[in-house]
Amino acid sequence: MDFTTYPFLNIMWTFFIIFFWVSVFVLLIRIITDVFRRNDIGGGAKAAWAIVLVCLPLLGSLIYLIKEGSHLGKREWEEATAAQAELDAFRIAQAGPDGASVAAEIARANALFEAGTIDETEFRAIKSRVIS
């Protein structure tokens, strides 16, 4: 095929078709992911949705978006919020007592050591406890 004779509008049409099909596959993957993440429907309903989406992808995705589209974003938002809360709790737990960071805890122990309140063995014990 000679690419110099391929008209510009045919190139644009080809790009449009490719974009359309990539969009359809991304939409199908997102819908199928949502179907299998849902907790409010059972396995039979999930299988039925999967069969409809595989056999009739455009019609099935349109039906799913009409029926469950408003809940699709809500479920994803709730999952993202729960994941962020879990990450925040993990970071707070890693920060140490009273939300102090490792460096702040070592600095506090160093200040106690320099003031003579604790000796070097206690300072090393605190430092090793905080680091681990």
pTM above 0.85?
A: no
* SS3 per-residue string spanning the chain: CCHHHCCHHHHHHHHHHHHHHHHHHHHHHHHHHHHHHCCCCCHHHHHHHHHHHHHCHHHHHHHHHHHHHHHHHHHHHHHHHHHHHHHHHHHHHHHCHHHCCHHHHHHHHHHHHHHCCCCHHHHHHHHHHHHC
Tens of pLDDT, residue by residue over 86-131, are 988 887 777 665 556 777 788 888 888 888 888 888 888 888 887 7
pLDDT of residue 120: 86
Domain locations in the chain as residue ranges? 3-70
